[in-house]
Structure 1
Amino acid sequence: MEKDILLAWIEEGTVNIPSILFTNYKRMGLNETDIMLILQVYSFQNKGNSFPTPEELSSNMTITSGECASILRKLVQQGFISIEEGNTTEDILFEKYSLKPLWLKLLDCLQEEKKQSQRQQSSFNENELYTIFEKEFGRPLSPLECETLGMWMDQDHHDAVIIKAALKESVISGKLNFRYIDRILFEWKKNGIETIEQARKHGEKFRGSSRKGPIEYEKTSSNTVPFYNWLEQ
């Protein structure tokens, strides 16, 4: 749906497409001559000429009309430009260039770039998590622990920030082991906790309940805040 809306904006001239093309045309497989010819077509269309001839296009460029015609054929064959039929109010048929295939390819390119950025960020978060866990455990993680950490992110879809929060909870509680952390993450997910703030409030709720009911907590000194014993649940 978002893609359809953005495409509609592009077609209406609401979005400044040339600047986006300048930074992405190479990734789309276009060269400088291709993109300049496309921009000439785009410019003619904005002026009301939806089907400029190679001669008209070449008049604003440093290439011949024959070269323009050759590049136009290539762009049509590669799916960057299409030729459509239109009709006037008097039902007179005419042909026009459509840049919709170009905009669709551009949107696909931007979406792939976003996905790649997300994959890179996910990889960075994963590497950072391994480093943090090994620092807290004071040793390299075992193969099974590495697999568990990967499953928390890939299968259980826990955010790296939440995993680090669960690790911190286990450290303060004095129960630094993967089974304890896994239980914390399980309880948080069951209760719909997805942010640090939600985790903090959830912990405060349980700590407040410790003064009213039989919920068991870890033994702590009088100078520390009691933490919920997740393994007892």
Structure 2
Amino acid sequence: MKNNLYAWFKEGSMTIPSFLFTHYKKIGLNEQEVMLLLQLQHFIETGNDFPAPSQLAERMTLQETECLFLIQRLIQRGYIKLEEDKGQAIGDERYSLDPLYERLIDCFLQSQKQEKAEQALNEGESLYTVFEQEFGRPLSPYECETLALWMDDDHSPSIIKAALREAVISGKLNFRYVDRILFEWKKNGIKTIDQAKNRGQQFRMHQKQEKKQATQTPIKDVPFYNWLEQ
């Protein structure tokens, strides 16, 4: 039994990107083509980079002619590349699956880009809703344009919401005040929610200190600290 398990372990394993299983249809492959490509990969990894159609047919439920047809079609469609094996005799060739993985990478990057775009769209829609809820009314076209400009200016929706919260706490619920907060945060390199919270706490502590000083020395005119007056 142990010898059998050892022989099984010696067979090794093969690394296959899970993205291939979940997106092979998206890059234009069917099940037969994927299995043939995986068989090719296994042959290449075990030292045979130019298996004959008959060798592929031995492992698959396809005939030799069908394997040959699939290989030719995959080459024509740009999933397999034939390369000259420079390490061997002149005229020897080898299969390369680089085109397949290049397509997979392109598809993966495109999927990531699309997900980010959809996320940004959803966050943008949520952002408009949050502002309308705080203002208690629909936003004007000018205010909608201002929100879009803030996002175009690399302000994340979470940072814009944090600036709105600061405006609410300060009792200055208007777009000009929020804009000033965002300007001040960007100038000071504030990009995360934690940084924004710390900055807001510092701002309110400064307000309390100024109020306390104004109470203790009423004769001296101490201006009220305001985001708009920085």
Counterpart among 201, 204, 218 of residue 201 in structure 2: 204
Q: Which has the higher helix share?
A: 2
Counterpart among 161, 167, 173 of residue 164 in structure 2: 167
Question: What are the Cα deviations for residues 58-102 of structure 1, in whole angstroms up to 9, with x where unaligned?
Answer: 1211222112111111111111110111133xx524211000111
User: What is the TM-score with the length of structure 2 in the denominator?
Assistant: 0.82
Q: Distance in 1 between matches of 2:89 and 2:100?
A: 27
**Structure 1 residue 17, shift from structure 2 partner:** 2.1
Structure whose CA Rg is larger: 2
Match runs of 1:11-160 below 5 Å: 16-88=15-87, 91-93=88-90, 94-153=92-151, 155-160=152-157
Name stretches of at least 5 consecutive residues in structure 2 with no aligned partner.
Answer: 1-12, 212-223
Counterpart among 181, 184, 199 of residue 184 in structure 1: 181
3-state DSSP class of the match of 1:174?
Answer: coil
3-state DSSP class of the match of 2:85?
Answer: strand
Larger deviation, residues 196-205 vs 143-152: 196-205
User: What one-letter code is carried by the residue in structure 2 that aligns with 1:160?
Assistant: P
Which 4+ runs in 1 deviate beyond 3 A? 204-214
3-state DSSP class of the match of 2:191?
Answer: coil
- Residues 195 and 41 (structure 1), Cα distance of their counterparts in 2 relative to 1, 3 Å cut: same
> What residue number does 1:3 align with?
none
User: What one-letter code is carried by the residue in structure 2 that aligns with 1:205?
Assistant: Q
**Are 1:51 and 1:96, in contact at CA under 8 Å, matched by a contact in 2?**
yes
3-state DSSP class of the match of 2:95?
Answer: strand
Q: Distance in 2 between matches of 1:138 and 1:84?
A: 67
Q: Distance in 1 between matches of 2:17 and 2:200?
A: 51
Question: What are the Cα deviations for residues 36-65 of structure 1, in whole angstroms up to 9, with x where unaligned?
Answer: 110111111122110011111112112221
Question: What are the Cα deviations for residues 135-186 of structure 1, in whole angstroms up to 9, with x where unaligned?
Answer: 0000111111111111111x21101110000001111111111111111111
Q: How many residues align?
A: 206
- Residues 60 and 228 (structure 1), Cα distance of their counterparts in 2 relative to 1, 3 Å cut: farther
- Identical pairs, percent: 54
Q: What is the CA RMSD across the aligned residues, in angstroms? A: 2.3
Q: Distance in 1 between matches of 2:209 and 2:168?
A: 25
Name stretches of at least 5 consecutive residues in structure 1 with no aligned partner.
Answer: 1-13, 215-226
User: What is the TM-score with the length of structure 1 in the denominator?
Assistant: 0.81
**Are 2:75 and 2:81, in contact at CA under 8 Å, matched by a contact in 1?**
yes
